[in-house]
Each structure stands twice: as C-alpha cells, then as structure tokens.
Amino acid sequence: MKTLQVLDGLRVLLVDDDADSLELVRFILEQYHAQVSSTASTCEALQVIRLWKPDILISDIAMPDEDGYSFIRNVRNLEGEMGQIPAIALTALVKQEAVAVALQAGFSTCIVKPFDPDQLVKVISNLLLQ
C-alpha cells in the first residue's frame, strides 16, 4: 500500500527513442496514478525538466541524438533541485560494465530491459523513500 501512496501523483519524465517502450512504462506507471510525461529526445527532455520539474527521471541509454550517459551528465549540471532529480537508467546492455558506467555518469540506479513491471515500481518507490 505504501508503494501506491508514493506513486500517486508522482511526476515522472520518460526519455526513450522507442515509442513502444515509452507506452509500456507510461501504462505501468499510470496504473499507480503517476503523472507521466514522455519524450523521444534528450533535448526536449531537458526543456521538460526545467518547465515541468518532474519528481523522477527514467531514461534509456542507447538513443540516436544523445546517449543516456551524456544526457544524465547534462541533467546533473542543472542548477538546484533539478540537477539532483533521482534518475533510473533503462538499458538492454546487460554487461556489468554498462551498469557501472550508468552509475558513474550520474544515474541513481539501473534496470535492465526487459524488466518486470513490479521491479520498476519497487525501484521507483525505494528511490523516493530514501
């Protein structure tokens, strides 16, 4: 029940160049009454962060315009709380080195695709309750 309360009204920004991935994550989170904004571009995502001020960021790593590592570095360079937003990397890269690079780049944690929807909800809840 606590997870439901944490996600209720939560502002989540999704960044992924794959429309199906965006829809899947959106669907999962909206079942818990989260407010979800999604974008396929890191440039647009930075604008959304500044204007909408999400509570959490979920981003793919492998994207064509800018990879997730560079994107999260740009997010971490934002001023104030915007630069400290909890961020989850979603990646199909299963090597341990890829996870380490994501954490070093500035992500709070990493989830490997395909993922269990319950795992995603639990990771979000744990990040927000820290």
Tokens of 121: 């909800």
Q: Which DSSP category does 17 fall into?
A: S
Q: How large is the greatest C-alpha to C-alpha distance in the chain, in angstroms?
A: 39
Domains within the chain, CATH numbers bracketed = 2-120 (3.40.50.2300)
Answer for the pair 125, 2: CB distance below 8 angstroms, yes or no: yes
Looking at residue 4, what is its pLDDT? 55
pLDDT for the residue 91:
87
Q: How far is CA 67 from the centre of its chain?
A: 13
Q: Which pLDDT value is given to residue 130?
A: 75
User: pTM for the full model?
Assistant: 0.94
| Residues in Cβ contact with 73 at an 8 Å cutoff, skipping those fewer than 6 apart | 105, 106
Tell me how far apart the alpha carbons of residues 116 and 111 are, in angstroms, rounded to a whole number: 10
DSSP helix/strand/coil, 105: helix
pLDDT in tens, the chain (130 residues): 454 577 899 999 999 999 999 999 999 999 999 999 999 999 999 999 999 999 999 999 999 889 999 999 999 999 999 999 999 999 887 677 788 899 999 999 999 888 999 999 999 999 988 7
pLDDT of 92: 84
Q: How far apart are CA 115 and CA 130, in angstroms?
A: 22
Can you tell me the distance from the alpha carbon of 109 to that of 89, in angstroms, rounded to the nearest whole number?
A: 6
The pLDDT, as a whole number, for residue 11 is: 97
For the chain, strand residue ranges (E) read 11-15, 35-39, 56-60, 87-91, 109-112
